[in-house]
Amino acid sequence: MDPKPKRKRLAKACDGCHKSKRRCDGTDPCSNCYFASKPCTYTDSTGRPVQAPRFPESSRTASPGPSTTSYANPQPQSPYPPSGSSSTTRKRARLDADPESPEPPIVRELTSLFFANALPMAAIIHKPTFKADLANNQIPTALLHAVCAAGAPFSKQPTLLREPARCQGRPFAEAAARILFDSTGRFVGQATLHSAQALCLLHWYSAISQTEVGYDKAAKDKSHPGFVDGDRFRVVAIQIIQALNVHQPEHPLLTPVPSHGMVQESIERECLRRIFWLVYVVDCYRSVYWGWDGLGMNHIRSNSKSPAIDGGAIGYSEAELRLRLPVDETSFELAQVHQSLPEYLFLPAVRTHYASEMGHLVRIITIHQKLEWALDKLNDTKARNTIAECGKMIDEWLASLPTHLSFSPEYIAVHKAMFATGSNMSAWCYGAIHIGYASSSLALIVGRQRLAEQERQSFHVPDMGFIFDRVYAVNDMFVGRDKQPTILGMTVWPLVKYLNLQDSPDVKVWIQELFETAGTRFDELVYDRWGDANGMSRLAVRPSTPPPTMPPYPPSSTSAPPSNNASRRPSQSATVYAPNMHIDENRLLPSLKACGLLDWRTSPSSPSSGLPPQGQGQGQGRPNPSAASASPNDTATRGLPMGLSWLADDR
C-alpha cells in the first residue's frame, strides 16, 4: 500500500493567519477569517495586495447568481459602457433589473436630491455620466438603491416620510445590502467601481441613520455611534479600490484630441481616488469627534501611527497618503480630468483658478485632526512638536488659498449662488474649508495656551472674532436649504468643546438640528468623552494670564482691508490667523447679537474680527436707552457669549 502523500505546504498565508501564526487554507476569504467575520487580505513582501493562492470550493462549481470568487486582485472592469453600445445590451440591462427597483418618479426625485444635498458623498459619482447611464438603464441596481438611500432623507414624499427623517432611506439601503452581501454577511458582489461607490454610500448612510443596514450584524462600538464595529462596508470598499489599483502611478498621455475611452478612464480613476479621500475625511472626523484611532487601509493592523503627514495618519501609511488629490470640481464635472495638473497632500497647493476644492478640504481637516490628537496628549513631546508644526501648516494653508476660495463677502455670494445651479460641491467645500479653518485655529489657540500654562508662561488670548465671522457667514450660506450634518458638526464641535457655548440660543438650535440629521448630540458627546464639568472646563479657552498689555491684534492696519487676498494673509509671527473682513451684521443670523458675539472685542478699535466696534454699529438706527445709565462693569460684560464673561476682565 502506497504511503499517504505528504500534505503540500501552502506557499502563502493570509495576513491575519500569518500574524496570528495559524494554519491558513489559502482561499479568499480563508476559513479562519470567514468564521471570525474578519476581512481577509493577501499581500506580498512589499505590502501590495496579491491574489489568494487557492479558490474556495464554492467558486469552482457553476451556480447562478453573483460571483463569490476572490476580489482581492481582480481584472479591472470599467463601469462605463462603450459609446456604441447596442440596443441588445440596453435591453439586457432592463431585463436584469432587480424587481425591487423603485418606481421611475421616485428614482428621478431621489437621485436629484442626492446630488443636491447628500454632500460630500455625492462627490464620488460623476453626475453627467450617472445621469446618462440612468437614462439608458445602465446603473447597477445596488448603486441605484444606495443613491436613493442617501437622497431619501431629504424627500418630502408622503410614502417615504418617517421619523426620524434620517431613516427614510433604510428600505433602499437594505435592498442594496441584499444585493451585495449574502445572508451570512459575506460579500458576493463584483469588484467594480460601482460596487465601491455603493459600499461607500452605505457606510455613510449607516453612520447618519444610526441603524444597522442589511446583514451587517456585527456589534456596534458604543464609543462611535452610528459606525458598526468592523466597518464592513468601509472595509470592502477599500479592498475593492485596492484591487482596482487606486495607488498605481499614472502616466497620462498629453494629446490635443483625447479619445472617448481616455476621457472615461480618467473619470473612473478620479472616482476611485475620491472614494479613498472621502473615506479618509470621514476617518479624520471620527478621530476628532470620537477619538477613533483609525484603521487606514491595512485592517489587520491594530497599532495606529501618530497623526503626521510624514509617517502616516490615523492608520494610513505615508505611501497611501501620497495618492493624488481629487481634481477641482469644474474639471471633474466637465470631464477634463485628463487635462488637470495633479496635486498632492505632501506638496504645497497650487494658487490657480483650478486649485482643488476637495484638496484644500483634505489639507485643513488633516491639520485639525493632528491638533485634536495633540491636545489629548499634551505631555507627549511629539504632541508638543505637533502643535508647533500645525501653526506653520495653518499659515501655509491660508497663504495658499487662491482668490476664488478666499473668505470675502464677494466670494461668499458667488458660492451661495452656486447652490441654485445644481453644481453644489464646490460651494459646499468652500463653506467646509472655512469652518475647518476656524476650528483648527481655535484648537491651536487652546493648544498654545495649555503649553504656556505647563511652562508657567504668560499667554494672551487673541481676538477670536474671525472665528465667529466664519461660523455665521458659512451657516448663513445654508439658510433655506436642507441641513448639512457635516457642516453642522464642524460648526458645533469647537463652540461646545472650546468655548462652552452649548447654552447659546444659536448653538442650541444647531445642536438639535445635528441630532435630527445625524443622531448625535455633540454637547452630550463632549460631556461623555471628558467626564464632567471640570473636565470640560479644562478644554475651554481661559482668561489671558496675565492681563495683556500689548496693542490689539493685529497691531498694523486700522483701516478697511484691501480686496486682494494677500492683505488677509497673516504674518509668519502671528499668534493666531485672523484675516480682516467686513461683513454687514444685518446679513448674519438674527440671533448673532443675542449671543453677544458682535460686542466681543479685545478693545473697541480691534479690527481683527471685521465687525463694527462697539458704539458704532449699535448706535445707528438701534438706540439703547439704558446705555447711558449702565455702570462700567455692566457695559463691559453685557452681550458677551455665555461662559465667556471673563473676557471683560481682560480689557
In angstroms, the Cα distances linking 315 to 300, 307, 319 are: 11, 8, 12
- Environment class of 492 (CB within 10 Å of its CB; exposed 0-12, middle 13-18, buried 19+): buried
pLDDT of residue 531: 65
5-39 pLDDT per residue, tens: 544 444 578 888 888 878 888 887 787 777 666 78
Provide, for the chain, the percentages of residues in helix, strand and coil under a 3-state DSSP scheme, each rounded to the nearest 5: 45, 0, 50
| Buried b / exposed e along 514-536 (16+ C-beta atoms within 10 A) | bbbbbbbbbbebbbebbeeeeeb
- pTM for this prediction: 0.70
194-223 pLDDT per residue, tens: 999 999 999 999 888 776 665 444 434 444
Distance of CA 503 to the CA centre of its chain: 26
Which residue shows C-alpha cell 488637470? 340
Are 490 and 462 in contact by the 8 Å Cβ rule? The answer is no
Amino acid (one-letter) located at 481: R
215-272 pLDDT per residue, tens: 444 434 444 444 444 478 999 999 999 999 999 887 766 777 788 889 999 999 999 9
pLDDT of residue 310: 46
603-640 pLDDT per residue, tens: 333 333 333 333 333 333 333 333 333 343 443 443 44
Are 121 and 204 in contact by the 8 Å Cβ rule? The answer is yes
Q: Where are the domains of the chain?
A: 406-651
pLDDT of residue 102: 84
pLDDT of residue 146: 97
Pick from 298-312, 316-330, 598-612: least confident: 598-612
Q: Is the dihedral of CA 505, 471, 284, 331 positive or negative?
A: positive
